[in-house]
Amino acid sequence: MTGPSGVGIGWRPEIAGFVAGLPGLRFVEVVAEAVTPTGPLPEGLAELRERGVTVVPHGVRLSLGGAEPVDPHRVAHLAGVATALAAPLVSEHIAFVRAGGLEAGHLLPLPRSREAVAAVVANVRRAQAELPAPLALEPIAALFDWPDDELDEADFLTEILDATGALLLLDVANVHANARNRGDDPAALLDRLPLERVAYVHVAGGAEAGGFYHDTHTDPVPAEVLDLVRVLCDRRRPPALLLERDGHYPPADELRGELDALAAASGYPVVT
């Protein structure tokens, strides 16, 4: 199975029929925890696999940034899903979701400290030892920075990628959100990231609320995020870009429009 390429979409049961009807689709992403590795694949996902559509499992519960070692059962689940999907790639987040035995239920940001780098690197290596495919790491959107940050975001990410050999899942919507909320220039971050390590890119919508930009995945992709896709592609076009939508699903015509806009911004063929 080849790696992700072109324009894809996050597969969700609520839009499975829409996704199945996309004639030019070459890859999708599925939340790994929604798949049972030893049972039948969700209806619709198996049909995509039979069509030759690449399916990338996207984990949300490994807690790679946690101080404790990753849970071997969760790593085994992710590895089993990757095997069941014949996935050429697996992705997860640079974040933590639990501490002291408590589950947060959300992806939480790490302090950009050397201690945090060491914790992430150790957990990524533990995961890589069990996974049957390369691992891509996604930095998350955050509404705040920790006061004990020692590194800026570019250095923090680069140190982790260099130490682990992992690929980068770059979320352009997160780059926009973080820059908007910090008052930074998103293009300046792109200029300092190892773009040659990008496996694929997430693109999603968000909304302003309470003086902050929230990466909701339930709103349309704003023009600023599509502009940032163009900026990224001018520097180095990634192999693939994926539209994420996790709720408040719009009519099919609107989803097709977002996919077409993403194709136009990146220069890849339309999939609709």
What are the backbone dihedrals phi and psi of residue 136, each rounded to the nearest 5 degrees, phi first?
A: -110, 135
SS3 assignment, position 102? strand
Q: Is the pLDDT of residue 100 over 60?
A: no
User: Which tokens belong to 154?
Assistant: 């570019």
Asked if residue 227 belongs to a domain, the reply is yes
Asked if residue 37 belongs to a domain, the reply is yes
Determine the pLDDT at residue 99: 55
- How many structural domains is the chain composed of? 1
Residues 173 and 141 sit within 8 Å (Cβ to Cβ): yes
Asked if residue 1 belongs to a domain, the reply is no
User: Which tokens belong to 22?
Assistant: 């996309």
Range of the domain at 83: 6-266
Q: How far apart are CA 111 and CA 148, in angstroms?
A: 7
Residues 20 and 35 sit within 8 Å (Cβ to Cβ): no
Asked if residue 64 belongs to a domain, the reply is yes
Asked if residue 180 belongs to a domain, the reply is yes
Asked if residue 271 belongs to a domain, the reply is no
SS3 assignment, position 54? strand
Residues 225 and 176 sit within 8 Å (Cβ to Cβ): yes
**pLDDT tens by residue, 121-179:** 999 999 999 999 999 999 986 655 656 778 899 999 999 999 999 999 999 998 988 88
Q: Is the pLDDT of residue 222 over 90?
A: yes
Asked if residue 272 belongs to a domain, the reply is no
**pLDDT tens by residue, 177-198:** 888 878 889 999 999 999 999 9
**pLDDT tens by residue, 30-43:** 999 999 999 899 88
Asked if residue 97 belongs to a domain, the reply is yes
Q: What is the mean pLDDT of residues 39-48?
A: 91
Name the residue with higher pLDDT: 105 or 130.
Answer: 130
At 29, which CATH number? 3.20.20.150
Q: Is the pLDDT of residue 104 over 70?
A: no
